[in-house]
């Protein structure tokens, strides 16, 4: 179960990024996240080429699925996302996103992901324009807006993300579309409030919100969401 906050007919979802957790204490952190109401986990899958880094892998995803009742959102930071689709489906990934600038045929990849039973998302880097994916908005399930350069956590939120959230929210309202808007990177209380106000549906939580705080993970989650949502009622779905 993950916490969703119903507000004026739409839902905000907070996704803990497990690459930001205590890697020597991952199982304990996952248990505390679930206890706090968060079981939709964001996992960065890197190949060391698209970004010069490596982190968690699909063996970890399989272990999570076997051990916990959870939903997995995998963010592919790889040069050849086509080659990962079937493996992600076999690992029971629920949401799968790829970088728009990593492929020549994004429409084909979106439909391939969906045909494997997963929700398909497009990732926009800080230097990518949301206008360039407008024609794909009718088939994508979500757009992940990077508010930092991909590959490393701990970076400061980049304000360029705000205009992209606003553009995509206006686009889906005008065209009566149903894709979700997710934001990832450097989100703290101030930027989280503004992302919510501009129309974000999902926010990826890292070291400025859920992890590496003075409070334990459970308390940090609760405190952060309460700061964002104010006196809104919590609802466990």
Catalytic machinery residues: 44, 184
Q: Maximum CA pair distance of the chain?
A: 46
Q: Residue 124: in which H helix or E strand, if any? A: strand 119-124
Interior/surface letters 38-71, b for 16+ CB within 10 angstroms, e for the rest: bbbbbbbbbbeebbeeebbebebbeebbeebebb
C-beta separation of 72 from 15 below 8 A: no
Contacts of 108 (CB under 8 A, 6+ apart): none
- Residue whose C-alpha is closest to residue 102's, from 33, 151, 60: 151
Kindly report the three-state secondary structure assignment for every residue of 11-65: EEEEEEEHHHCCCCCHHHHHHHHHHCCCCEEEEEEECCCCCCCCCCCHHHHHHHH
Strand order in the sheet with 3-7: 40-46, 71-77, 95-99, 119-124, 142-146, 180-184, 202-205, 10-16, 3-7, 235-236
């Amino acid at each position: 179960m993950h916490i969703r906050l119903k507000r004026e007919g739409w839902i905000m979802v907070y996704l803990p990024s497990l690459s930001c957790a205590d890697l020597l204490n991952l199982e304990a952190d996952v248990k505390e996240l679930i206890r706090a109401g968060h079981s939709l986990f964001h996992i960065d899958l890197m190949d060391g080429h698209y970004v010069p880094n490596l982190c968690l892998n699909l063996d970890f995803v399989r272990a999570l699925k076997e051990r916990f009742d959870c939903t997995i959102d995998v963010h592919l930071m790889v040069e050849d996302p086509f080659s990962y689709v079937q493996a992600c489906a076999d690992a029971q990934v629920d949401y799968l996103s790829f970088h728009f600038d990593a492929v020549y045929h994004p429409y084909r990849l979106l439909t391939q992901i969906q045909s494997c039973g997963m929700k398909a998302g497009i990732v926009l880097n800080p230097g990518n324009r949301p206008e360039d994916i407008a024609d794909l908005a009718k088939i994508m399930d979500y757009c992940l807006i990077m508010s930092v350069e991909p590959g490393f956590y701990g970076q400061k939120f980049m304000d360029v993300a705000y205009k992209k959230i606003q553009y995509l929210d206006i686009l889906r309202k005008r065209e009566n579309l149903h894709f979700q808007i997710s934001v990832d990177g450097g989100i703290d209380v101030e930027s989280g409030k503004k992302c919510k106000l501009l129309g974000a549906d999902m926010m990826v939580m890292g070291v400025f919100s859920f992890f590496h705080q003075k409070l334990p993970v459970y308390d940090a989650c609760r405190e952060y969401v309460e700061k964002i949502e104010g006196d809104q009622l919590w609802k466990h779905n």
